[in-house]
Amino acid sequence: MAKIIHTMVRVRDLEKSLDFYKQALDLDISKRLDFEDFSLVYLRNDENDMEIELTWNKGAEPYTHGSGYGHIAVAVDNLDEEHARFQSLGYAPLDIKEFSRDGQLIARFFFVLDPDGYKIEVLQRHGHYQ
């Protein structure tokens, strides 16, 4: 059986991205591999069994996300507090939305962009989203 261990995103400014992921999602560096032309930095916190890999290709042209990329999703205990915290950090989260089906709440969430424009969905812990 396969186990998901990380997802990777390419970043233009590694330090800016490290600051964002630490402040926004409390992710710390678990491993860093620096090479002449690129760096690989793996981020996680105690709540996660998988990592986000930031790949910084030194001197690379700006990246495009294409039409296939979606988002990274995280679950939090208090969505309203997290939304306010993201605002206080200057990350400009979008408004909180609710997604229901047949009158039943499926999810409460908001989106925020990381420094490279990758979407992050922040969901209230509820139902499937734990």
Q: Let me know if the fold of 1-63 is the same as that of 70-130.
A: yes
| Residue 65 amino acid letter | H
Q: How far apart are CA 61 and CA 73, in angstroms?
A: 27
Q: Tens of pLDDT along 48-95?
A: 999 999 999 998 888 888 888 899 999 999 999 999 999 999 999 999
Q: Tens of pLDDT along 13-53?
A: 999 999 999 999 999 999 999 999 999 999 999 999 999 99
Residues taking part in catalysis: 121
Q: Which fold has domain 70-130?
A: 2,3-Dihydroxybiphenyl 1,2-Dioxygenase; domain 1 (3.10.180)
Is the separation of the CB atoms in 32 and 15 below 8 Å?
no
Q: Is the full-model pTM beyond 0.85?
A: yes
Q: What are the residue ranges spanned by the domains of the chain?
A: 1-63, 70-130
What's the CATH code, domain 1-63? Answer: 3.10.180.10
Is the separation of the CB atoms in 123 and 75 below 8 Å?
yes
Q: How far apart are CA 79 and CA 26, in angstroms?
A: 15
Can you read off the two tokens belonging to residue 23? 């402040």
